[in-house]
């Protein structure tokens, strides 16, 4: 399932990717979803642009920091090799597990909230791939701290999810409270909602199957 991009946009996306342009920027330029861009350019080789070194003096990492970073890099690469590219069934199961942990269990609509763009992107790709989705019924709710750029944030999430801004709800602007936390999510936290009882019940059936004893290897 899912949706296929138009040939012209696909060719433009591949050409832009070869120049080293990030997928999010390609999506914004072409007015398409990042999920479409990701599928179109996944086999395109590119060179990331070289960034100028930061200004000012910067201390080199010490031996402990270098060892820790080396271990992180090694384990990330091992993880990539171990996971590889998901099969259709693995993709289905991974999305079900993600929804089991982060999705709404209340009957009537699918609601998935997170501040991590990678999780939101994964979820949107999964939802469109395995279920018949009426794009006009997708909604996105945004939680964003005051002082952050609302227009840029809406454009960012729209490009990443493929949900047009006119299908966004009224954003909630939170007042930062330094006594609770200092860090603020630059792009806020979003909730992707799809109101369809049949689809929600199908997903919850998959969740129950996944969490049953029968699904656990003996």
In a domain, 73, yes or no: no
Which residues in the chain belong to E strands, given as ranges? 109-114, 138-145, 172-174, 189-195
**pLDDT tens, residue by residue, 140-160:** 999 998 888 899 999 999 999
User: Which range is least confidently modeled, 15-19, 44-48, 197-201?
Assistant: 44-48
pTM above 0.85, yes or no: no
- Site of tokens 């002082």: 147
Number of helical (H) and strand (E) elements in the chain, helices listed first: 8, 4
168 in the same domain as 96: yes
CA atoms within 13 A on the CB side of 146: 5
Q: Is 7 left (phi over 0), alpha (psi -120 to 50) or beta?
A: alpha
Q: For residues 197-209, give the mean pLDDT.
A: 97
In a domain, 72, yes or no: no
Q: Tell whether the model's pLDDT for residue 91 goes beyond 80.
A: yes
In a domain, 66, yes or no: no
Residue 54 banded pLDDT, cuts 50, 70, 90: low
What is the number of residues in the chain? 218
Q: How far is CA 192 from the centre of its chain?
A: 11
**What's the structural domain count of the chain?**
2
Which domain does 165 fall in, by range?
Answer: 88-215
98 in the same domain as 191: yes
CA atoms within 13 A on the CB side of 122: 19
113 in the same domain as 28: no
**pLDDT tens, residue by residue, 61-85:** 888 888 988 999 899 899 989 988 8
Q: How far is CA 63 from the centre of its chain?
A: 34
11 in the same domain as 101: no
The predicted pLDDT at position 214 comes to 82
């Amino acid at each position: 399932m899912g949706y296929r991009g138009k040939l012209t946009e696909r060719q433009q996306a591949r050409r832009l990717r070869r120049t080293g342009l990030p997928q999010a920027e390609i999506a914004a330029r072409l007015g398409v979803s990042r999920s479409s861009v990701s599928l179109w350019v996944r086999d395109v080789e590119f060179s990331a642009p070289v960034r100028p070194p930061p200004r000012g003096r910067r201390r080199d990492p010490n031996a402990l920091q270098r060892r820790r970073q080396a271990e992180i890099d090694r384990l990330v690469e091992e993880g990539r090799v171990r996971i590889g590219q998901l099969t259709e069934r693995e993709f289905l199961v991974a999305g079900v597990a993600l929804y089991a942990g982060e999705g709404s269990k209340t009957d009537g609509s699918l609601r998935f909230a997170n501040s991590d763009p990678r999780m939101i992107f994964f979820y949107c790709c999964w939802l469109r791939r395995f279920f018949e989705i009426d794009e006009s019924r997708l909604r996105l709710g945004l939680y964003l701290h005051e002082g952050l750029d609302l227009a840029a944030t809406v454009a960012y999430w729209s490009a990443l999810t493929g949900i047009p801004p006119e299908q966004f709800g009224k954003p909630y602007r939170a007042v930062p409270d330094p006594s609770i936390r200092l860090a603020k999510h630059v792009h806020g936290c979003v909730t992707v909602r799809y109101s369809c009882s049949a689809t929600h019940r199908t997903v919850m059936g998959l969740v129950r199957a996944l969490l049953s004893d029968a699904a656990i290897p003996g």
